[in-house]
Structure formats: C-alpha cells, structure tokens
C-alpha cells in the first residue's frame, strides 16, 4: 500500500449495500477538492459501486486493495 496523506477515513465494514457508498458520497460532498478519502467496506456491492460512482462523478480512484474480508478504497476528490 502506498503511503499518502489520508484526509478522511470511513470505516464502513459491516454496513450493508449501499451504505459504504453513501458514506463516501457524503464525506466527499463535505470535503475539499484534492482531499484523499479512504473507505473500508466488507460489502460486495462496494467493489462495483464505488468505482462506478467515482468514475461517474469524475473523481479519481487512486487505489483498491482487497484485504482479508474487506476492501480498501482510496479516492481523491477531483472537483
């Protein structure tokens, strides 16, 4: 995993779909352009939904790492 400044961490493990995505959207809306957000999610839907939303909303998916039982997404607010 790369080392970068994380501005906000969202631990959504255990939340059902679409909870982790909604938490990320809420955090990004309140954040500043250029900030880095990380989300931990054990929801299978997040693996497709977070990349789909990030692309649609024109932010940047910096990294996705599959860990034991959950995935770790790093997203940069691009606009």
Partner 1 sequence: MDEQEKPLSLVLFSGTDDKLNAAAVLTVGAAVMGRPVNIFLQYYALRAFRAGKVCADHALAWEATDALTHVIRAHPGEHWSELLKQAKDVGDVNIQACALSMDMFHLQKTDLDPLVDGIEGVAAFITSVADGQVLFI
Parallel, antiparallel, or unpaired for β 71-76 and 36-41?
antiparallel
State in angstroms the smallest separation of the CB of 16 from partner 1: 4
Shorter beta-carbon distance to partner 1: residue 32 or 79: 79
The answer to whether 20 and 10 are in contact (CB under 8 A) is yes
DSSP conformation class of 75: E
State in angstroms the smallest separation of the CB of 75 from partner 1: 14
Number of other CB atoms surrounding residue 75 within 10 Å? 27
Instruction: State the residues that interact with partner 1 by CB under 8 A.
Output: 14-19, 21-22, 25-26, 29, 49, 52-53, 56-58
Cα–Cα distance, 37 to 34 (Å, whole number): 10
The residue from 8, 17, 51, 72 that is catalytic is 17
Residue 43 annotated to the active site: no
Shorter beta-carbon distance to partner 1: residue 2 or 24: 24
Q: Which two tokens stand for residue 20?
A: 């982790």
Write out the catalytic residue numbers: 17
């Amino acid at each position: 995993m790369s080392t970068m400044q994380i501005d906000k961490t969202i631990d959504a493990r255990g939340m059902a779909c679409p909870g982790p995505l909604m938490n990320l959207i809420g955090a990004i809306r309140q954040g500043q352009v250029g900030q880095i957000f990380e989300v931990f999610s054990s929801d299978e839907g997040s693996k497709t939904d977070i990349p789909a939303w990030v692309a649609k909303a024109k932010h940047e998916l910096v990294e996705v790492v599959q860990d034991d039982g959950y995935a770790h997404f790093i997203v940069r607010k691009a606009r």
